[in-house]
């Protein structure tokens, strides 16, 4: 049963009435461009065929009654009163935060509702289950009260909720791709201007995701530390964000920054070089050059491992196995915020079994963890369904 069907079924069970609105927002996988979004840089994700459904109906008061199907938990809050965090359940922050920041833009929004949330994005895997939830809830509210908010605005409200209500200082990529994803396309996003450039996924190419089952929790601090280090580097270069530093400029000042703070220099080197890799990856895909894309993905992974220091041994091993299987016909790298989660592999369809088999034969034996393997399709962004 997909999340839409499950949400619909549970709505009648939990609230004993019929729903009048259902929306769905996808998770995402990032092909290249990691930790560049909050540096105003470039990213190239795609929305995937896993996501979050919200099914609900209006109430005749200002109460929001929310049932999270995957956790079997309820939350209730009043839109006519100041919205505060619920300290006992972390997931409620993503819902309450979105509603709070929608009210900041649309102060008259006090329309209550009963709703059920159901998703199938693997949690704590770096595939943006939280952004998918935020964008779905935002779209539900927008449709519920016919609010004058675009999908881009809903994405930025989701980011605000995560930054200021939940406390994870993420960039805007995850919410933007969940809101704006295009079927059968990767989307290069300029995280400063919010301009997007769709790049078709060639017909005979598979996007594979392998979940390491090393769980991560970005609110735990490492993510916010990396962000602060990037801000220090931008200050050193006298720019608003590392987006404004070219590879040549970085190399010219690298020695001086390294003498001042070697860790900050490494963080900056990753972001500056990663921005250049995203732009090169767009060109490689336009040419259908999977060998070049694979080289860029390998460089990206090495940079995340050595300069940004966000990979873990299990993830490095998965990438090594996948690269062995695809050779020079594609690429593999860690995807997501880091410290666990997933790798992404882009390769011809006829390599899927080779990648699946080499990982199945070696990963658990080496690490004691059993991977999950998904073959994804590039999907449409948030929609009423």
- Three-class DSSP category at 270: helix
Does 281 count as an annotated binding residue?
Answer: no
User: How many other CB atoms are there within 10 angstroms of residue 345's CB atom?
Assistant: 31
Active site residue 174: yes
Residue 288 marked as a ligand binder: no
Question: How far is Cα of residue 172 from the mean position of the Cα atoms in its chain?
Answer: 9
CA distance 267 to 142: 38
127 marked as part of a ligand binding site? yes
75, 114, 174, 307: which one is catalytic?
Answer: 174
Question: Is 283 annotated as contributing to ligand binding?
Answer: no
State yes or no: 251 annotated in a binding site: no
The residue among 280, 283, 213, 271 whose CA lies nearest residue 34 is 271
34 is in an annotated binding site: yes
For residue 174, what is the enclosing H or E element?
A: helix 173-180
368 annotated ligand binder: no
The verdict on whether residue 130 carries a ligand-binding annotation is: yes
In 10 A of CB 357, how many CB atoms?
Answer: 12
Q: Of 122, 14, 13, which is closest to residue 75 (Cα–Cα)?
A: 14
Question: Who contacts 209 (Cβ-Cβ below 8 Å, separation ≥6)?
Answer: 29, 48, 127, 335, 342, 343, 344, 345, 373, 374, 376
- Please indicate if the annotation marks 162 as binding a ligand: yes
Known binding residue 13? Answer is no
Q: Which residues are annotated as a binding site for ATP?
A: 124-130
**Hey, which residues are catalytic here?**
174
Annotated binding site: 34-37, 124-130, 162, 223
Annotated binding site for Mg(2+): which residue ranges? 130, 162
Binding residues for substrate: 34-37, 223
């Amino acid at each position: 049963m997909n999340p839409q069907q499950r949400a619909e079924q549970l709505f009648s069970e939990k609230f004993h009435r019929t729903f009048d609105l259902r929306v769905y927002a996808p998770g995402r996988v990032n092909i290249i461009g990691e930790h560049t979004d909050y540096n105003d840089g470039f990213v190239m994700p795609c929305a995937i065929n896993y996501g979050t459904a919200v099914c609900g109906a209006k109430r005749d008061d200002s109460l929001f009654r929310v049932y999270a199907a995957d956790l079997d938990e309820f939350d209730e809050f009043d839109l006519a009163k100041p919205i505060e965090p619920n300290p006992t359940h972390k997931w409620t922050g993503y819902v309450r935060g979105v509603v709070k920041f929608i009210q900041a833009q649309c102060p008259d929004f006090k329309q209550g509702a009963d709703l059920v949330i159901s998703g199938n994005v693997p949690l704590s895997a770096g595939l943006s289950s939280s952004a998918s939830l935020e964008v779905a809830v935002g779209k539900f509210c927008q449709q519920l009260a016919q609010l004058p908010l675009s999908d881009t605005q809903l994405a930025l409200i989701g980011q605000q909720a995560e930054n200021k209500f939940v406390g994870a200082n993420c960039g805007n990529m995850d919410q933007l791709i969940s809101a704006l994803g295009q079927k059968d396309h990767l989307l290069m996003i300029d995280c400063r201007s919010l301009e997007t450039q769709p790049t078709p996924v060639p017909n005979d190419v598979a996007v594979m995701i392998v979940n390491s089952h090393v769980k991560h929790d970005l609110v735990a601090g490492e993510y916010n530390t990396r962000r602060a280090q990037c801000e220090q580097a931008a200050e050193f270069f006298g720019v608003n964000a590392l987006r404004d530093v070219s590879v040549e400029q970085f190399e010219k000042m690298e020695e001086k920054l390294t003498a001042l703070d070697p860790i900050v220099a490494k963080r900056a080197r990753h972001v500056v070089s990663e921005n250049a890799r995203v732009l090169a990856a767009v060109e490689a895909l336009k040419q259908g050059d999977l060998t070049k894309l694979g080289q860029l993905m390998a460089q990206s992974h090495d940079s995340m491992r050595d300069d940004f220091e966000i990979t873990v041994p299990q993830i490095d091993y998965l990438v090594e196995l996948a690269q062995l299987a695809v050779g020079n016909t594609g690429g593999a790298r860690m995807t997501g915020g880091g410290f666990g989660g997933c790798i992404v592999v882009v390769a011809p369809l006829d390599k899927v079994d080779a990648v699946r088999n080499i990982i199945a034969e070696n990963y658990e034996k080496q690490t004691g963890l059993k991977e999950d393997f998904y073959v994804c399709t590039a999907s449409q962004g948030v929609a009423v369904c």
